[in-house]
Amino acid sequence: MALKPDVTVAAIVERDGRFLVVQERAARRVVLNQPAGHLEEGESLLQAVVRETLEETGYPFVPQAVTGLYLWRGPGERTFLRVAFAGSVGDRVDGVSLDRGIIRTAWISREQLRERETELRSPLVLQCIDDYLRGARYPLELLNHVLPASAQAPGN
């Protein structure tokens, strides 16, 4: 049987030793997660992480590096391929309504997240932060978004 993972993106944003997280409703639980979500049809991984971060937090995200790629089999036998990005956010954008399911955003330290491990959406939350803290940074040029021939401009 062919593996068909859900492709997701996540934003790792640190400010003064605290990380931007969302508290959200997922699978009948209230959980903590990075701003994250699924890749949508026709968008690049970079476009997806910028969109998801804005939709879930109201902050514009500027990706600066890839921190890791994660293949994880979650509950119910679903498999996820997560691409995590380190970056920064600007000021919160006025008037942005957050995605349904998002309760609030917060800035929480790694230690506070570890203390609340049972509330994390997946083990990927701490894994991504730990990789970031150990200095994992890969250039954005690592990623290539190859468009179908019909979508490419003439001469490309």
Tell me what pLDDT residue 22 has. 98
Tell me, what's the pLDDT at 32? 98
51 CB burial (10 A radius; 0-12, 13-18, 19+): middle
- Predicted confidence at residue 75, as pLDDT, reads 78
Q: Mark 93-127 as b/e (b = at least 16 C-beta within 10 Å).
A: eeeeebeeebeebeebebeebeeeeeebbbebbeb
28: left (phi over 0), alpha (psi -120 to 50) or beta: left
Q: Would you state the pLDDT for residue 10?
A: 98
> What's the confidence (pLDDT) of residue 76?
78
Domains of the chain by start residue, with CATH? 6-139 (3.90.79.10)
Q: What's residue 147's pLDDT?
A: 75
Per-residue pLDDT of the chain (156 residues; tens, 9 = 90+): 678 999 999 999 999 999 999 999 988 899 999 999 999 999 999 999 999 999 999 999 999 999 999 999 987 788 999 999 999 999 999 999 899 999 999 999 999 999 999 999 999 999 999 999 999 999 999 999 887 776 655 555
